[in-house]
Chain A
C-alpha cells in the first residue's frame, strides 16, 4: 500500500525529501506515518548519513500519537510519574521495539496508529503490573479507596439492617447504569476506574461493564468474570460492590 509512495520519496533529492517530510497532515503530498517509519528504520539499519532526520520526524509523529493517548488516560500518567515523563518513556519503549523488530515490514510500517496504540497498552499494563507487584496494600490510592469504601459502607448502614453486597449492588446499579448511559459521565467513571479502583475491583468492573461478561454461568463454555478472575461468584460480587461504592463516592 505504501511502497509506491516510498519509491516516490526515495527518488527525490535529499532536500526535496526533507521538505516533503515537513508537510503537515491534511495538506497535499503529506507523507503517511507508515512511510516515515520505513524511512527511519531503513536509515537506521543501513546507516544512512541522514538517519537522524528521519528519526527526528518519526519521534515528532510518535510523540503526537502517544501524547494524545496518554492525555486520555489519567491512570497511565498517574502511575508513570507525570504526563511528560510517561509520554517520553512510552515513546522510547516504542522506538526501541521498532528498532529491534526483525519482521520486515514491521507492524509500525503497515499500521502505525494501531501499532502505537497497542504498544501504549503494553506500557500501561507494565505500569499497573508494577504497582500491583509493589503490593496493593501499600498502594496509597488503594488504601484511600478502601477507606472510602468502608466509609461508604457505614453510610449504607444507616438503615437498621446492614445491606448485603447483593442488596447494595441493586441499590447502586441504577445510579451506575445512568452514568454509563451518558457519554460525559462515562468519561468520569472511566477516570475513577483508572485512578482509584484497587486491582481486583478494577478487573471485576472492567470485565463486567466494559467486557460485557456475565458474573457467573453454569454453562462451562460461557466466559464469565468469575472464570476470568479465577475466583468465586461471591468474591466477584463483593469486588463489584466495592467498585461501585468507590465510584459513587468519587462521582458525588
Chain B
C-alpha cells in the first residue's frame, strides 16, 4: 500500500487506468482514496472523474444503429491499418534494440573489452584507450566522431545511429542493478575530445582519435 505523501514512481497513465478500472461507475469513496494515495496526480484524477460523470455512454441500441457505409468505412480501415503497421514496425525496432542491449550486456571482462576496443579503434597505442571505450559505454562521452558509432554499430550488429540510443538504454538498465540508499550523483558526461586529450598517448594518436573522419 502506498502511503500518503510518499512519492510514487507509478506513471499517471497507470494511475488513471487503475482508477478507471476500480469501479463500474463513479464512486466518490474510490476517488477520495486515489486522491489520498496519489496527491501528485490529484488534478488529473479530478479531471478524469468529472469527465466520467458528465460523459454519456451510448446504449446497445444506439451502437447497433450506428451503421457506417462501406465508402466511409473502407478509408477508415485503411488508415487505421496503416497506422497499426507503423506501430508494429516501431515495436519491432524496439525488440531489436533489446537484442542489441543484451549483446552489450554480454561484454564482460578484460579480454572482451580488448576485443571491442580493437574492433572499434583498429589498434591502440596504450591500454588507456580501452578505458576510453569503457567510458564511452558508461557513463558515456558526448560529441563522439561518427566512425566510433559506426565501429560500435558493427560490433553490436545495429545501425550506427542506434548506438547512442542503445547506450542510453543500457546505462539506465545497468544503474538499476545497484541498490543505494541515496540517488547516485552523476556528473555530466565529458566530450570525446576531452577524454582523448586526457590520454597518455602521442599527439599523432590523439589527433587520429579526435578526427571526425577516420580516413583523414
Contact = CB atoms under 8 A, between A and B. Distances in A.
Is chain B a partner of chain A in the same complex?
yes
Interface of A: 25-26, 44, 52, 55-56, 59-60, 63-65, 67-69, 71-73, 75-76, 88, 91-92, 95-96, 99, 107, 113, 117-118, 120-122, 124-125, 128-129, 132, 190, 193-194, 199, 202-203, 206-207, 210-211, 213, 223, 227-230
B17 A122 contact: yes
Interface of B: 16-17, 20-21, 26, 28-29, 31-32, 35, 42, 44, 46-58, 60, 62-68, 73, 76-77, 79-81, 83-84, 87-88
B73 A210 contact: no
A194 B76 CA distance: 27
A189 B48 CA distance: 19
Contacts of A25: 64
A118 B17 CA distance: 9
| Interface majority SS (helix, strand, loop, mixed), chain B | helix
Contacts of B62: 68, 71-72
B55 A88 contact: no
Contacts of B20: 118, 121-122
Chain A interface SS verdict (over half)? helix
A129 B47 contact: yes
A227 to B, nearest CB: 7
A96 B90 CA distance: 12
19 contacts: A59-B76, A59-B81, A65-B58, A67-B66, A68-B62, A69-B58, A72-B56, A88-B76, A118-B20, A120-B55, A121-B20, A122-B16, A125-B48, A125-B52, A128-B47, A193-B54, A203-B47, A203-B50, A228-B49
A128 B51 contact: yes
B17 to A, nearest CB: 7
Given A65-B58, A117-B57, A230-B42, A91 B80 contact: yes
A238 to B, nearest CB: 17
A73 B53 CA distance: 12
B52 A72 contact: no
A202 B66 contact: no
Contacts of B88: 44, 99
